[in-house]
Amino acid sequence: MRFRTMADMVTVCAQEGIGIGELMLQDQCAESGKPRETEFAKMAAYYTVMKEAVRRGTTEDTTSRSGFSGGDARRVLARLETGDTCLGADSAGGWRMRSA
């Protein structure tokens, strides 16, 4: 890795004219010795898992084994869909997972 601190990270990005994501991808490849496509595909697969978990959390029953949690994401989503949230009506703009 060409950086250990946030300051290093910003400096290397500026020197190379790249963003933080690109820096991490390059350095990850250098460390693992694996091709860029392999490292990218691995991370892309993580994103797929994340999207699926968000979909499940906002559409399915998530009652935990203890029974003390679950369903709150759906409650919040239902309120967002009313367009009348304290965070602003537009805060619902990003949430269409239910219909997706």
Partner 1 sequence: MSEVNASMGRIVATPTAGSCGILPGVLVSAQERYGFTDETATMALFAAGAIGYVIANNSFVSGAEGGCQAEIGSAIAMAAGAMVELRGGTPAQAAHAVGLALKNTLGLICDPVGGLVEIPCIVRNGFGAVTALAAADMALAGVRSVIPSDEVIQVMLEVGSAMPEAHRETAKGGLAQTPTGKKILQQIKGRAD
Binding positions for partner 1, rule: CB under 8 A: 1, 3-7, 9-10, 13-14, 19-25, 27-28, 40, 43-44, 46-54, 56-57, 61-66, 68-73, 76, 87, 93-97, 100
Considering the complex, what minimum distance in angstroms separates the CB of residue 87 from partner 1? 7
CB of 33 or CB of 75, closer to partner 1:
75
Considering the complex, what minimum distance in angstroms separates the CB of residue 98 from partner 1? 11
Q: What is the 3-state secondary structure (H, E, C) of 30-97?
A: HHHCCCHHHHHHHHHHHHHHHHHHHHHHHHCCCCCCCCCCCCHHHHHHHHHCCCCCCCCHHHHCCCCC
Beta carbons within 8 Å of 56's beta carbon, 6+ residues apart: 62
CB of 47 or CB of 82, closer to partner 1:
47
Sign of CA pseudo-dihedral 80, 59, 100, 52? positive
Considering the complex, what minimum distance in angstroms separates the CB of residue 52 from partner 1? 7
Considering the complex, what minimum distance in angstroms separates the CB of residue 36 from partner 1? 11
